Amino acid sequence: MGRLASLLILVGLAALLFAAPEHEAASFGRPSGPEQTLPTQPLAIVVNRSNSVDDLSSTELRRIFLGERSHWPNGRRITLVMREPGEPERKTILRDVCQMNEGELKNHFLHGLFTGEILVSPKILATSVGVRKFVFNVPGAIGYLRLSDVDNTVKIVRVDEFLPEDKGYKLHVEVRPGN
């Protein structure tokens, strides 16, 4: 009976995976062609102001965003906040942090949740304001925001010792007209 349930869940997850839009899978990775000329803006990694963590390495950041690290050093549970699929910020995180495309990420989380390696799936929020408010409300939350969307309700963490304003900062999001 337990095996049958597991099989059904796997089938369902596979169906969801295949139902993802084709263009999303195609847009993963660094932009090519004319898109490379678009201006960019730093993408800040933000945490709750009560969080004592100030600096994260690329590796730690990847583990957090892939749900492989579940707790902060103070013991507080990590709550991951993501934008909806297709948003430029999410694309940047997938490309530069998770180094996966949308499908691979979904598979990763489906697998992790199913096996119990990942405890909580990321919270999906529609807007950057929502991300900011969520991080403000949840002490263990971590998310990402364009630098222009950051205010003093959240705290920016360094990535590989770089702040978003620094020259060597790696995370940038494309600024498309209307974004």
Instruction: Tell me, residue by residue from 63 to 92, as one string, x for binding to another protein by CB under 8 A and - for no binding.
Output: --------------x-x-------------
> Minimum distance from CB of 60 to another protein (Å)?
20
Alpha-carbon gap, residue 87 to 128, rounded angstroms: 10
The answer to whether 172 contacts another protein (rule: CB under 8 A) is no
Q: Spell out the residues 6+ positions from residue 126 whose beta carbon is closer than 8 angstroms to its own.
A: 83, 84
Token pair for residue 77? 């549970």
Question: Cβ closer to another protein: 80 or 159?
Answer: 80
CB atoms under 10 Å from CB of 6, counted, come to 11
The answer to whether residue 112 forms part of the interface with another protein (CB under 8 A) is no
Question: Interface residues for another protein in 9-68 (CB under 8 A)?
Answer: none
Footprint (CB under 8 A) of another protein, residues 117-156: 120, 123-127, 130, 133-134, 137-141
Examine residue 113 and tell whether it contacts another protein (CB under 8 A).
no
Q: Which residue ranges make up the site for another protein (CB under 8 A)?
A: 77, 79, 120, 123-127, 130, 133-134, 137-141
